Copies of this chain bind each other. A is one copy, B any other.
Amino acid sequence: MEPRGGWLDETEQRAWQGLIGFAMLALPELERAHRRHGLVHIEYGLLAALSDRSYRLSELAAMLTMSQSRLSHRMNKLRDRGLVLLSPSPEDGRVTVAEISPAGRALVESIAPGHVEDVRRLVFDNLTPAQTEALADALTAVIGGLGSCGPIDRPAPDCPPPGCP
């Protein structure tokens, strides 16, 4: 049986293999680096996002396409470690707002430089500026098509939460 749109051509196969290869080779290495600080990747992403501003849990869940219950579980663990503060919104007590604690900020600030060096080594050191730009443009189009309004690791400040995703 032929797939709708046909089989992948040689270029599509290379692109697909690159995406899978990145996920299977580079991400586990970053995950190991985060574990040395007692975090899993998603926790680093949450703390990095919260280091810019506070978020309602519902906004974070939408940005990460996580269920609210899964996110709450993760955030409660970060709160129990003193890395985030969770409190009812002053405007609506049913809404929980997450903000980073001083200890959380200190942790992100201690991890971030090494994380960026890992990302450079794993990705950008292998690319010319033109390739980096082409990669960014292509992946922005892919992520746009996935129906997410924002990135995961470090949400864009202009991400419009109500329409997301």
Report A's interface with B, CB cutoff 8 A: 1-5, 7-8, 11-27, 42, 45, 64-65, 112-114, 116-117, 119-120, 122-127, 129, 131-146, 148, 150-154, 156
Chain B residues within an 8 Å CB radius of A139: 14-15, 17-19, 21-22, 135
Contact A141/B131 with A23-B27, A116-B8, A154-B13 known, Cβ cut-off 8 Å = yes
Q: How many identical subunits does the complex contain?
A: 2
| Nearest chain B CB to A46 CB, angstrom units | 12
Judge whether B126 and A141 touch: CB under 8 Å.
yes
Contact A12/B132 with A5-B120, A17-B153, A152-B21 known, Cβ cut-off 8 Å = yes
Instruction: Give the CA-CA distance A148 to B21 in the complex, in Å.
Output: 8
Judge whether A131 and B126 touch: CB under 8 Å.
no
> Could you list 8 examples of A-B contacts with CB < 8 Å?
A3-B112, A3-B117, A14-B151, A21-B151, A26-B142, A123-B142, A126-B141, A135-B138
Instruction: Give the CA-CA distance A98 to B136 in the complex, in Å.
Output: 39
Residue in B11, B26, B142 whose CB lies within 8 Å of A122: B142
Judge whether B21 and A123 touch: CB under 8 Å.
no
Instruction: Give the CA-CA distance A2 to B109 in the complex, in Å.
Output: 10
Judge whether A16 and B152 touch: CB under 8 Å.
no
Contact A142/B22 with A7-B116, A17-B153 known, Cβ cut-off 8 Å = yes
Judge whether B132 and A131 touch: CB under 8 Å.
no
Chain B residues within an 8 Å CB radius of A24: 42, 64-65, 152
